[in-house]
Amino acid sequence: MAKCSICNTKKGKRKCLPVDGYVCTLCCGKTRKAEACQGCSFYKEPELPPKYDKVPAYTVRQMNNSMDLQAWSNAIEGAIGAFDRDTGRTINDDVPIRIMELLLDNYYFKEEVLAFDNELIEKGFYQVNQAIQDDLEEAAAEHIIKVLGVLYFVAKRRTKGGREYLKIVNDFVGVRIGPGVQARFLD
């Protein structure tokens, strides 16, 4: 097999039309451009990460003025509080933030297959999503999305990389112990 037409050090295994020869996989990946490689089987459009901060969200004023919105946000944050308690309060704010991102992937971005970072995140996602299914069954998807949007904004704004957001959840919302029921525990 011939050497790579670009680096001339490794074996060229991929036929490359722009260089009219064979290239190694490393050079193929480094030099790949949309305008030159569009028809190539090795070319993929770059996937942009979702912009969670652009998801529609209720304002703080709208949340304060609606008992329904407050109840829905309490159900979600209560489930986050319950998950935090189940883990022995060992998680940091990045875990509920990632869970909210996955919920937004599901509800807003309509992702059919979710990529869980680990089993802990997966368990938290299913626990919070179950609370949404149980407590927000009368809420339209657009309302769930906007509540998740504002909770995501608040969590991102409050965290400093520790447990700042989770402390607020535990102090002011409590732990979801059943459909529509939260409790605050003194630890």
The 10s digit of each residue's pLDDT in 120-162 is: 999 999 999 999 999 999 999 999 999 999 999 999 999 999 9
Q: In this structure, are 39 and 62 located in the same domain?
A: no
Per-residue pLDDT tens over the stretch 55-112:
999 998 999 999 999 999 999 999 999 999 999 999 999 999 999 999 999 999 999 8
> Does residue 187 belong to any structural domain of this protein?
no
36's tokens: 């030159």
> Does residue 122 belong to any structural domain of this protein?
yes
Q: Find the Cα–Cα–Cα–Cα dihedral 176, 178, 180, 182, rounded to 10°.
A: -30
Q: In this structure, are 159 and 106 located in the same domain?
A: yes
Number of domains in the chain: 2
Q: In this structure, are 148 and 165 located in the same domain?
A: yes
Assess whether pLDDT exceeds 70 at residue 46: no
Q: In this structure, are 94 and 61 located in the same domain?
A: yes
> Does residue 28 belong to any structural domain of this protein?
yes
Q: In this structure, are 115 and 167 located in the same domain?
A: yes
Q: In this structure, are 85 and 174 located in the same domain?
A: yes
Query: Domain range spanning residue 98?
Result: 52-182
User: Half-sphere exposure of 64 toward its Cβ, with a 13 Å CA cutoff?
Assistant: 3
